[in-house]
Amino acid sequence: MLRPVLTRLLISLMACLLPALAPAATLADEDGYDLWLRYIPLEQPLADTYRPQATALVTYGDSPTLKAASDELHRGLKGLLGQTPASTLTDGAIVIGTIAQAPIPTLNITLPDNPEAYAIRKVTLNGKSVTLITGHSDQGVLYGAFAYLKTLQTGARLTDVTDAPRVKLRVLNHWDNLDGFVERGYSGASIWDWWRLPDLKDPRYTDYARANASIGINGTVLNNVNSKADSLTLPYLHKAAAVADILRPYGIKVYLSARFSAPIELGGLPTSDPLDPAVQKWWQDKTAEIYAIIPDFGGFLVKANSEGQPGPQDFGRTHADGANMLAAALKSHGGIVMWRAFVYSHDNPADRAKQAYDEFVPLDGTFADNVLVQVKNGAIDFQPREPFHPLFGAMPKTPLMMEFQITKEYLGFATHIAYMGEYFEETLRADTGHGKIGAATVAHVLDGSLHGYTLTGIAGVANIGTDRNWSGSDFEQANWYAFGRLAWNPHDSARAIAADWAKLTFSRDDRFVTPVTDLLMSSRETVADYMTPLGLHHLMGTSHHYGPAPWINDLPQPEWNPVYYHKADRDGIGFDRTQTGSDALSQYAPRAAAKWANPKTTDERYLLWFHHLSWDHKTRSGRPLWDELALTYTRGTSKVTDMRRTWDSLRPFVDARRHQAVAQNLKIQETEAVWWRDASLAYFRSVSHRPLPAGAPEPAHSLEHYQSLRFPYAPGDPGR
């Protein structure tokens, strides 16, 4: 009696384990180059995988963009289904073409009123049952083709789909210098080989365009916001034009960062005063020159009067004067200006978090209609956690666009796993308090619905470089992917996007997808816990921003010093931004400010951002603040250990090469998390003079040891 039971138990145990272990042996090594466009055969042993027939592919119309769509479908279908589709209209065929292209109008498909919209429909055409992918424009068709392939890749059942982007400009910002160095880049050199352009036709540029189009990105700024005027000289414009030619079929426009002092540096003028007619003429001529070479040039991104960059204030003019002068030059060509609001100044004693709002809100309504003001997600600087920037919602007459940082300057570079999709979502869903509850989030500002902006945009600082896997690590690709998806629809779900990415990048198996999605969704919080818990911010090492340095207090500009931000002393810690302190809180609408006014009601993840509190302050757990701080650091490190364990358990689902690459990074992340915890606690203990609570381990080294560490060769550091 016992035997059959045992045998059955054994069999069911084997049944559970075997499939889990089976894939490993058969998975070929991958190097990450194919990103989420791997198109590996669908015959994975997934019972519910839907296998469409796509025996033929018929394209109505003829354009480089339709050709790109058709090439992608060919590539995808060949990879996924193992068959090259024929080109005759048969049952099961895929048909692509714009809605106006004969014979598609006969099908009476309706599309949203958006030039980039697409639809996928099962229809009967000429008596054949086909899948139609259509849009108002070729670009819409291309987006539909990628959407169709994604459905196949994720093993989802194909249903009718209609979709359109909620934001117009979905733009990558490359912080790439003309010499190939990428500021805050952790994935090799710049992919823009300025030296060999314009002759170089690197196939990588086409793959870059494919990857971006697949997630809806439709613009790219090729050069660093800390720009050189040289990028506006004729030879460099020809180089930019060569890139634009390759990206154009994929619906991606090229933009350039413009140096405000270019009329002086290139034009030999004595000034770059935006109200000077000679300066205006210089920009008009320059702009005309650009459009003669790049007819669909997108426009300029400008960092002005920020961190030493030239700008209109050098001549007593405002940001609006500067932006409008460039906007006027671009206007007749259809170009736009993205004017950055990342400004703060060493001679302004106001809390750095307040300065952008103070400068820009009075200018609301004075910007030309082809200007967007580009605002970072938070008021300081891409920290592991920041409350949303108070400018969102506060400039109803000026289109504000978002600037997210995809590259992880402040979150462990490319080595640490921190899924930015979850971070972006936190910002996008934040209630600005400037309208009806539920209709006044940051996403509602960006999609134009809150204030009726017709020009809308989202930018992300790229994490792309020459590394074979593009982003410096396999998991960094998730951040590029999530950025594109959320720029397309800022109301989308970061969790759903993470799950899609995991399926596309590694495995469709639920036993992989669920734990990896969970890991991704908690990963950014983990980083915030071991780097800047409870609302602390800007505690990173000087210039390179690698590792902890909360003790730094000797840099010339007050706000460059971490001590400026944490204000820890024997009595307490935190930045008082309430009425008793800098009153930055008053820049938020009352509904948003109310949540943060009182430490008792403040979400503790923002506690020390807004409040300076005694070490004895009783936190929600009942523990005094000092103990809570120490234990949050410690929790962060143990969560990294959990991530390592999870990843180890997923070995059967990932090829050995990528599994090992991720595992190695996680090991580094664990070591660096412990370093962050130990160095930070060693320092804060020296200030608070309190013993570490039970559960927080003694730092491995002395404070002096941590303070002595130097990193002259840290990547991405413009100061090295």
Site for ligand BDP in 124-183 (CB under 6 A): 183
Nearer to ligand BDP by Cβ, of 184 and 612: the residue is 184
Separation between Cα atoms, residue 244 and residue 335, nearest integer Å: 15
Q: Min. distance of Cβ 720 from ligand BDP in angstroms?
A: 12
Q: What are 130's two structure tokens?
A: 């086909």
Q: Min. distance of Cβ 714 from ligand BDP in angstroms?
A: 12
Among 342, 367, 419, 575, binds ligand BDP (CB under 6 A): 342
> Among positive and negative, which fits the CA dihedral 282, 285, 289, 290?
positive
Q: Where are the beta strands (DSSP E) in 174-291?
A: 219-221, 253-257
List the catalytic residue out of 29, 31, 285, 307: 307
Among 303, 331, 524, 612, binds ligand BDP (CB under 6 A): 303
Separation between Cα atoms, residue 112 and residue 162, nearest integer Å: 8
Return phi, psi of residue 144, to 5°. -65, -40
Q: Min. distance of Cβ 307 from ligand BDP in angstroms?
A: 6
What is the separation of C-alpha 555 from the centre of its chain, rounded to a whole number of angstroms?
A: 30
- Give the three-state DSSP class for 22: helix
Nearer to ligand BDP by Cβ, of 172 and 513: the residue is 172
**Total of chain residues touching ligand BDP, rule CB under 6 A:** 11
List the catalytic residue out of 381, 431, 525, 670: 381
Q: Min. distance of Cβ 509 from ligand BDP in angstroms?
A: 39
Closest residue by beta carbon to ligand BDP: 381
Q: Burial letters for 444-460: b for 16+ Cβ neighbours within 10 Å, e otherwise?
A: bbbbbbbbebeebbbbb
Nearer to ligand BDP by Cβ, of 225 and 696: the residue is 225
Nearer to ligand BDP by Cβ, of 268 and 719: the residue is 719
Q: Specify the amino acid at residue 330.
A: L
- Give the largest CA-CA distance in the chain: 99
What is the separation of C-alpha 634 from the centre of its chain, rounded to a whole number of angstroms?
A: 28
**Residue 174 CB burial class (10 angstroms; 0-12, 13-18, ≥19):** buried
Does residue 403 have an active-site annotation?
no
Separation between Cα atoms, residue 107 and residue 671, nearest integer Å: 60
Our finding on whether 381 is near ligand BDP (CB under 6 A) is yes
Our finding on whether 717 is near ligand BDP (CB under 6 A) is no
Our finding on whether 396 is near ligand BDP (CB under 6 A) is no
Our finding on whether 389 is near ligand BDP (CB under 6 A) is no
Nearer to ligand BDP by Cβ, of 271 and 542: the residue is 542
Separation between Cα atoms, residue 629 and residue 696, nearest integer Å: 10
Nearer to ligand BDP by Cβ, of 356 and 446: the residue is 356
With beta carbons less than 8 A apart as the criterion, state whether 472 and 416 touch.
no
Nearer to ligand BDP by Cβ, of 216 and 716: the residue is 716
Does residue 34 have an active-site annotation?
no
List the catalytic residue out of 359, 409, 422, 525: 409
DSSP-derived pairing of the beta strands 161-163 and 118-125: antiparallel
Our finding on whether 404 is near ligand BDP (CB under 6 A) is no
Our finding on whether 72 is near ligand BDP (CB under 6 A) is no
Return phi, psi of residue 350, to 5°. -65, 150
Q: Min. distance of Cβ 410 from ligand BDP in angstroms?
A: 7
Our finding on whether 338 is near ligand BDP (CB under 6 A) is no
Helices (H), 32-161: 64-81, 138-153
Q: Burial letters for 574-593: b for 16+ Cβ neighbours within 10 Å, e otherwise?
A: bbbbbeebbebbebbbeebb
Q: Min. distance of Cβ 610 from ligand BDP in angstroms?
A: 21
Our finding on whether 206 is near ligand BDP (CB under 6 A) is no
Q: Min. distance of Cβ 183 from ligand BDP in angstroms?
A: 5
Q: Min. distance of Cβ 222 from ligand BDP in angstroms?
A: 16
Does residue 409 have an active-site annotation?
yes
Nearer to ligand BDP by Cβ, of 355 and 469: the residue is 355
Our finding on whether 225 is near ligand BDP (CB under 6 A) is yes
Nearer to ligand BDP by Cβ, of 381 and 525: the residue is 381
For 348-359, give the DSSP string. Answer: --S-HHHHHHHH
Site for ligand BDP in 467-506 (CB under 6 A): none
Our finding on whether 344 is near ligand BDP (CB under 6 A) is no
Our finding on whether 382 is near ligand BDP (CB under 6 A) is yes
Q: What are the residues facing 176 on neighbouring strands?
A: 182
Neighbours of 96 (CB within 10 A): 28
Query: CA geometry: angle at 643 spanning 639 and 644, to 5°?
Result: 120
With beta carbons less than 8 A apart as the criterion, state whether 404 and 424 touch.
yes
Q: Min. distance of Cβ 559 from ligand BDP in angstroms?
A: 12
Q: Is the peptide bond before 198 cis (omega within 30 degrees of 0)?
A: yes
Nearer to ligand BDP by Cβ, of 449 and 542: the residue is 542
To which residue do tokens 């559970």 refer?
Answer: 16
Q: What are 575's two structure tokens?
A: 């930045």
CA atoms within 13 A on the CB side of 9: 6
Q: Min. distance of Cβ 717 from ligand BDP in angstroms?
A: 9
Q: Cite the active site residues.
A: 307, 381, 409
Q: Which residues bind ligand BDP (CB under 6 A)?
A: 183-184, 225-226, 303, 307, 342, 381-382, 409, 718
